[in-house]
C-alpha cells in the first residue's frame, strides 16, 4: 500500500482549481469607505417565531433592557490564551458531554484507542464534532452533532501506515450522532449527561442508507451500484454547519466531500467532470486512501458516487426509525450552514454559504408554507421551491438571482435542460447568472428580533487588490469579515436586499490595521474597547435576543493570535459592534459550532480537532480533554455556576 503521510486540514480546503472565473477589475476603497460608515436605516422586521418546540417554552428575551440602554452582556471578557485548557469567564464552568469514542448506542464498547475497529466506531460518538443543535424534551433534550472529517494522524498510532481497518474506522467516524441527554445537579451546577439506554440515541454513519429526494432524485448521474435507481445512497460525508427547522428537524450540510474520492478521470460526463475538478477531485489518485479499500470511492469504478455527496440532509431526531433525506432542491455545493427563517406568508427560507474561495451565497424559499398544525406534514417541504444566488451591488443593494431551469441563461444549450441539472451543477448555474464571488462564505444566521441575516466570510488570502469589491473589500483577506443583509420589506421571500459590512475582523491595535488593506471595523463601535478576532466561521443567536455569537476557525494563524474562541457582539442598541471574547479553546482546535438549550442557561460547544497540526505521540500539540493522547474532539457544556441566568447576561 502506498504510504499516506498527509495531515488533513479539512476546515480550510477552499477552491483549488483555476483562477476566479470573472475579473473583478475595480479597486473600490473609496466606495468601501462610504459603505462602512453608513449605518443601517431599516429596523423592525418581523421576528422569527419557532414552531413545534416540544416540551418547553422559549427563552425570555433581553431586548427590553437593551432598548433602555443597559448592556445585554454582563460577563468579563476572557483574554487571548494559547494553553491546553478551555477558558470561560469568571462565574462560569465547562465540562465534556460527548467525546470521540464514547459509547452512544446500546452494545457499543468503551473507547480503546489502541484497539479501534469499524464495528466499535459504528456505535460510538464520531470524530470531529462540528454542528450541534438542541431539540427539547420534557426532561432534558436531544443533541444532534455532525462529524466533519477525520484526522488519522491524531487517531492511529500506526500513522502513516493506514490499512483497511483504519479506513473502516474513519468511514464510521463520519456522519451524525443523535444523543439524548438529561440534566444532573452537581456542586458546580446543572450538567448534562448521555442517557445511555435511551432509544433516541442513534449513530448515522458512512455505511448507512440515506434517501435522495427533490428535483435531482433518480437522475442518471446519481445512479450507482448501490442503488441503480438513483433514489438513495450510502453515507453523509464531511458534514459541517447546518441548521434547525421551525418544525424541529435537523439540517446538516455536506461540505468538502471531494477529499474522499479518487481518479476523477473515470468520469466521462463533461458537466460532472467540470464540477468535480472545481470541487477539487484529483484526476489521478486521491487525497485519502479510502479508494484503495472501497470501490465506491474510486471514480473509475463508480463514476457517479461522488454526485451523491454535496447536499443538505434533513433528519428527524425524534424518530429513531426514520430515514434521513438528502434534499436536492437546495442545490449541490460545499454547503456551510442552513440558517432559516419564515417568510411573510409563512414559507421557509434557508440560507447557505459555499465554503470555498470565490464561491457564492445561496437562499432557498419553499413553495409551500410551514404547516403549523401538523409537524409531519412539513417533512417534504424542502423538496419544492426556488433556489437563489446572491449578487451584492456596490451601492449597498443586492439581488437574489433565480436559479431556475429555462430562465435566462439556464437553458438546455448551456447544460441545464431541467431543474435536476441546476441542482447538480449549482456552481456553474451561479456563474452563468452573474453572482458575486465571496471570501469563503460559511455560516449564515438570522437575527430573531428583526430578521436581519448575518454571513460569515472566513478569509480569502488569494484575492488580489484588483479583485476587491465592496462586499469583499480586502485583498489578502486573512482575517475575514461579516456581512449584515436586510431583506427588502423585512420579508425573507424578497428578491432584493440591502447590505452592510457589519465587521471587518482583525486586531485594531496591530500594524496591519493601520493600512487600508488590514484595517478593522466593528459596526462603528469604539475599536479601543473591543476584543480582537479573526476567521469568523460559525454564527448563532439565542432565542428572542439580538446578540450575535461568533465562533472562529484559523485565528491562531493570523496576527490576532491566541487559540480560536467564541465572541459575543450586540447587533442593536448603543453597544452594536461591541465585541467581547467569551471562550478560548485549545491548540490546534477550531470552535466549530455552539447552540443553547431552550432556557438559554446552557451553551453546548463543539471543540473540533484539538491538536491538529501535530502527530499522535510524536508532535503533541494538545492532550485535550483527558490530559493524555490521543486528543479527542468533544462537545462540551458551559453554564453559570449555580445554574441560574442566561448565558452571557
* pLDDT for the residue numbered 622: 98
Task: List, for residues 114-143, the tens digit of each pLDDT value.
Answer: 999 999 999 999 999 999 999 999 999 999
Inter-residue contact 365 to 349 (CB < 8 Å): yes
* pLDDT for the residue numbered 46: 26
pLDDT at 52 over 70: no
Confidence band of 37 (pLDDT split at 50, 70, 90) = low
pLDDT > 70 in the chain, percent? 89
Averaged pLDDT for residues 600-621: 97
Task: List, for residues 185-201, the tens digit of each pLDDT value.
Answer: 999 999 999 999 999 99
Confidence band of 384 (pLDDT split at 50, 70, 90) = very high
- Which position has the higher pLDDT, 556 or 23? 556
Rounded Cα–Cα distance for residues 605 and 563 (Å):
15
* pLDDT for the residue numbered 517: 86
Averaged pLDDT for residues 429-457: 98
pLDDT at 22 over 50: no
Q: Would you say residue 569 lies in a domain? A: yes
Q: Would you say residue 271 lies in a domain? A: no
Name the grid cell of 91: 462565574
Rounded Cα–Cα distance for residues 129 and 127 (Å):
6
Q: Would you say residue 160 lies in a domain? A: yes
Using alpha carbons only, give the angle 564, 569, 574 rounded to the nearest 5 degrees.
Answer: 155
Confidence band of 632 (pLDDT split at 50, 70, 90) = very high
Rounded Cα–Cα distance for residues 68 and 91 (Å):
25
pLDDT at 55 over 60: no
Task: List, for residues 306-345, the tens digit of each pLDDT value.
Answer: 999 999 999 999 999 999 999 999 999 999 999 999 999 9
Task: List, for residues 405-435, the tens digit of each pLDDT value.
Answer: 999 999 999 999 999 999 999 999 999 999 9
Domain housing 169: 10-255+310-640
pLDDT at 644 over 90: no
The beta strand positions in 509-564, using DSSP E, are: 521-522, 536-540, 547-552
Q: Would you say residue 473 lies in a domain? A: yes
* pLDDT for the residue numbered 3: 36
Closest CA to 151 of 143, 162, 142: 162
- Which position has the higher pLDDT, 62 or 305? 305
* Average pLDDT score over the chain: 91
Confidence band of 6 (pLDDT split at 50, 70, 90) = very low
Which H or E element spans position 168? Answer: helix 164-173
pLDDT at 378 over 60: yes
Q: Would you say residue 235 lies in a domain? A: yes
Task: List, for residues 580-599, the tens digit of each pLDDT value.
Answer: 999 999 999 999 999 999 99
* pLDDT for the residue numbered 243: 97
Averaged pLDDT for residues 198-223: 98
* pLDDT for the residue numbered 35: 54
Which H or E element spans position 438? Answer: strand 438-439
- Which position has the higher pLDDT, 232 or 517? 232
The number of distinct structural domains making up the chain is 1
Name the grid cell of 411: 437553458
* pLDDT for the residue numbered 69: 61
pLDDT > 90 in the chain, percent? 87
Closest CA to 583 of 559, 625, 552: 552
Q: Would you say residue 411 lies in a domain? A: yes
Name the grid cell of 224: 450507482
Averaged pLDDT for residues 173-195: 97
Task: List, for residues 273-319, the tens digit of each pLDDT value.
Answer: 999 999 999 999 999 999 999 999 999 999 999 999 999 999 999 99
* pLDDT for the residue numbered 24: 38
Task: List, for residues 144-172, the tens digit of each pLDDT value.
Answer: 999 999 999 999 999 999 999 999 999 99
Rounded Cα–Cα distance for residues 16 and 551 (Å):
25
pLDDT at 636 over 50: yes
* pLDDT for the residue numbered 643: 75
pLDDT at 31 over 50: no
Amino acid at each position: 500500500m502506498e504510504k499516506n503521510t498527509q495531515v488533513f486540514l479539512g476546515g480550510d480546503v477552499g477552491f483549488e482549481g483555476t483562477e476566479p472565473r470573472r475579473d473583478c477589475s475595480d479597486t473600490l476603497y473609496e466606495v468601501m469607505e462610504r459603505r462602512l460608515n453608513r449605518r443601517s436605516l431599516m429596523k423592525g422586521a418581523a421576528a422569527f417565531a419557532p414552531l413545534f418546540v416540544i416540551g418547553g417554552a422559549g427563552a425570555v428575551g433581553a431586548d427590553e433592557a437593551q432598548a433602555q440602554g443597559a448592556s445585554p452582556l454582563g460577563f468579563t471578557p476572557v483574554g487571548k490564551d494559547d494553553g491546553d485548557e478551555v477558558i470561560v469567564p469568571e462565574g462560569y464552568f465547562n465540562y465534556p458531554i460527548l467525546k470521540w469514542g464514547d459509547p452512544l448506542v446500546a452494545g457499543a464498547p468503551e473507547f480503546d484507542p489502541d484497539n479501534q475497529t469499524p464495528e466499535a466506531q459504528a456505535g460510538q460518538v464520531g470524530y470531529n464534532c462540528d454542528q450541534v443543535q438542541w431539540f427539547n424534551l420534557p426532561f432534558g433534550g436531544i443533541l444532534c452533532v455532525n462529524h466533519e472529517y477525520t484526522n488519522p494522524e491524531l487517531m492511529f498510532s500506526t500513522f502513516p501506515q493506514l490499512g483497511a481497518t483504519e479506513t473502516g474506522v474513519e468511514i464510521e467516524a463520519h456522519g451524525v450522532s443523535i444523543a439524548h441527554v438529561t440534566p444532573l445537579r452537581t456542586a458546580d451546577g446543572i450538567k448534562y449527561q448521555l442517557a445511555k439506554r435511551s432509544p433516541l440515541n442513534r449513530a448515522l454513519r458512512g455505511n448507512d442508507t440515506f434517501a435522495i429526494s427533490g428535483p435531482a432524485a433518480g437522475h442518471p448521474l446519481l445512479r450507482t451500484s448501490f442503488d441503480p435507481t438513483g433514489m438513495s445512497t450510502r453515507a453523509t460525508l464531511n458534514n459541517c454547519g447546518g441548521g434547525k427547522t421551525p418544525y424541529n428537524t435537523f439540517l446538516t450540510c455536506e461540505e468538502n466531500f471531494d477529499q474522499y474520492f479518487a481518479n476523477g478521470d473515470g468520469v466521462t460526463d463533461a458537466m460532472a467532470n467540470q464540477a468535480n475538478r472545481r470541487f477539487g477531485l484529483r484526476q489521478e489518485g486521491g487525497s485519502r486512501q479510502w479508494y484503495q479499500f472501497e470501490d465506491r470511492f474510486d471514480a473509475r469504478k463508480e463514476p457517479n458516487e461522488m454526485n451523491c455527496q454535496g447536499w443538505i440532509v434533513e433528519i428527524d431526531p425524534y424518530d429513531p426509525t426514520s430515514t434521513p433525506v438528502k434534499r436536492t432542491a437546495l442545490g449541490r455545493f460545499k454547503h456551510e450552514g442552513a440558517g432559516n427563517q419564515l417568510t411573510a406568508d409563512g414559507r421557509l427560507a434557508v440560507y447557505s454559504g459555499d465554503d470555498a474561495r470565490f464561491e457564492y451565497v445561496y437562499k432557498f424559499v419553499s413553495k409551500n408554507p410551514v404547516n403549523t398544525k401538523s409537524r409531519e406534514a412539513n417533512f417534504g417541504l424542502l423538496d419544492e421551491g426556488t433556489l437563489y444566488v446572491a449578487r451584492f451591488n456596490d451601492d449597498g443593494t443586492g439581488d437574489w438571482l433565480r436559479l431556475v431551469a429555462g430562465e435566462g441563461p439556464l437553458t438546455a444549450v448551456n447544460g441545464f435542460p431541467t431543474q435536476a441539472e441546476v441542482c447538480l451543477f449549482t456552481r456553474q448555474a451561479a456563474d452563468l447568472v452573474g453572482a458575486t464571488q465571496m471570501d469563503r462564505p460559511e455560516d449564515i444566521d438570522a437575527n430573531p428580533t428583526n430578521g436581519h441575516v448575518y454571513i460569515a466570510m472566513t478569509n480569502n488570502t488569494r484575492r488580489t487588490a484588483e479583485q476587491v469589491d465592496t462586499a469583499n473589500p480586502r485583498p489578502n483577506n486573512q482575517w475575514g469579515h461579516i456581512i449584515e443583509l436586510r431583506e427588502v420589506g423585512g420579508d425573507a421571500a424578497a428578491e432584493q436586499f440591502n447590505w452592510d459590512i457589519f465587521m471587518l475582523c482583525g486586531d485594531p491595535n496591530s500594524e496591519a490595521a493601520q493600512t487600508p488593506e488590514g484595517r478593522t471595523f466593528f459596526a462603528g463601535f469604539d475599536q479601543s474597547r473591543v476584543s480582537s478576532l479573526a476567521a469568523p466561521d460559525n454564527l448563532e443567536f439565542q432565542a428572542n435576543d439580538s446578540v450575535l455569537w461568533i465562533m472562529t476557525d484559523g485565528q491562531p494563524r493570523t496576527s490576532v493570535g491566541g487559540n480560536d474562541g467564541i465572541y459575543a457582539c450586540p447587533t442593536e442598541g448603543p453597544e452594536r459592534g461591541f465585541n467581547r471574547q467569551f471562550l478560548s479553546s485549545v491548540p490546534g482546535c477550531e470552535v466549530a459550532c455552539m447552540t443553547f438549550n431552550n432556557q438559554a442557561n446552557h451553551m453546548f460547544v463543539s471543540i473540533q480537532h484539538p491538536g491538529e497540526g501535530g502527530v499522535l505521540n510524536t508532535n503533541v500539540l494538545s492532550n485535550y480533554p483527558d490530559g493524555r493522547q490521543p486528543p479527542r474532539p468533544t462537545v462540551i457544556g458551559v453554564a453559570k455556576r449555580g445554574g441560574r441566568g442566561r448565558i452571557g447576561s
